């Protein structure tokens, strides 16, 4: 099973990727993590990526593709992979298709997690962190007091909000995501590869929908 996952920040895509990875026994290939590792290890692509980052530039698509190709050559990816974080635009999608064709591993499906933007804003902007123990709470689902404080640490320190979790920042990130993703989704839909999942549901339900979309009948919820 060779899959690309697309979903806005806060869509629950990461959790579902983990579940897919366990179910199919295939690795989750997150380009963000791959880049970090390549840079740390100082591989050929990692050094090129670092040079770009140091210059304040975006890492070129060829470098990211090279890192992905190297990762897919590892034995655990022989039966498939879940690609996350790439592609983000049409030219990347085309370059990826070409690279995957060249190694004989074309995509089976592209999954788009659809979520209500208002719900995402709520989920993310409601996050509060305890500076002491690092636990994350949500003022909407799990109100830990007023004003919000950590119920775990003995002296109940106040919870704080990360600066990039504010409502305005989340709105902006969602807008960028929308602009990037819509043409990509249309592209994959035209190729007959797009599976759209309604992700406005509890984790278990989303997993069931995902399995069904990918043709895994064992996970289909019982009718009636
Ligand atoms: Zn705490």
- The pLDDT, as a whole number, for residue 220 is 47
Average pLDDT over residues 146-169: 87
- Is the pLDDT assigned to residue 66 strictly greater than 50? yes
Instruction: Summarize pLDDT for 38-52 with one digit per residue, the tens.
Output: 999 998 999 999 999
To the query of whether residue 50 is one of the catalytic residues in this protein, the response is no
Q: What angle do CA 115, 178, 92 make, to 5 degrees?
A: 115
- The pLDDT, as a whole number, for residue 99 is 97
- Is the pLDDT assigned to residue 101 strictly greater than 70? yes
Residues with CB under 5 A from ligand 1 (ion): 130, 132-133, 150, 152-153
List, in sequence order, every beta strand (DSSP E) within 54-191: 81-84, 109-114, 127-130, 136-138, 159-160
Active site residue: 98, 162, 172, 182, which one? 162
Stronger pLDDT, 117 or 189, i.e. the higher one: 189
Ligand 1 centroid, distance to 154 Cα (angstroms) = 8
To the query of whether residue 13 is one of the catalytic residues in this protein, the response is yes
> What percentage of residues in the chain have a pLDDT greater than 90?
53
Nearest to residue 34, comparing CAs of 79, 2, 70?
A: 70
Ligand 1 centroid, distance to 117 Cα (angstroms) = 29
Instruction: Summarize pLDDT for 169-182 with one digit per residue, the tens.
Output: 889 888 888 888 88
Confidence of residue 2 (pLDDT cuts 50, 70, 90): very high
SS3 for 156-216 is CCEEECCHHHCHHHHHHHHHHHHHHHHHHHHHHHHCCCEEEEECCCCHHHHHHHHHHHCCC
Ligand 1 centroid, distance to 149 Cα (angstroms) = 8
Average pLDDT over residues 190-198: 95
- Is the pLDDT assigned to residue 223 strictly greater than 70? no
pTM, whole model, 2 decimals? 0.80
Window from 2-11, 67-76, 134-143, 183-192 with minimum mean pLDDT: 134-143
Q: Is 59 helix (H, G, I), strand (E, B) or coil?
A: coil
Confidence of residue 224 (pLDDT cuts 50, 70, 90): very low
């Amino acid at each position: 099973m060779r899959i690309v996952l697309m979903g806005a920040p806060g869509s629950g895509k990461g959790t579902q990727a983990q579940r897919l990875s366990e179910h199919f026994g295939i690795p989750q290939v997150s380009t963000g993590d791959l880049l970090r590792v390549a840079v740390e290890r100082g591989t050929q692509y990692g050094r090129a990526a670092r040079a770009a980052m140091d210059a304040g530039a975006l890492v070129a698509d060829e470098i990211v593709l090279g890192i992905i190709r190297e990762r897919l050559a590892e034995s655990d990816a022989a039966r498939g992979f879940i690609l996350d974080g790439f592609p983000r635009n049409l030219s990347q999608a085309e370059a990826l298709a070409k690279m995957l064709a060249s190694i004989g591993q074309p995509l089976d499906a592209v999954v788009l997690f659809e979520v209500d933007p208002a719900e995402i804003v709520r989920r993310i902007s409601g996050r509060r962190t305890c500076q002491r123990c690092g636990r994350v709470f949500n003022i909407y689902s799990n109100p830990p007091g007023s004003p919000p404080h950590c119920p775990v640490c003995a002296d109940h320190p106040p919870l704080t909000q990360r600066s990039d979790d504010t409502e305005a920042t989340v709105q902006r990130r969602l807008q960028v995501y929308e602009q990037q993703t819509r043409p990509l989704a249309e592209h994959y839909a035209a190729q007959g590869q797009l599976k759209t999942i309604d992700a406005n549901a509890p984790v278990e339900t989303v997993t069931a929908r995902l399995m069904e979309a990918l043709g895994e009948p064992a996970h289909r919820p019982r009718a009636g």
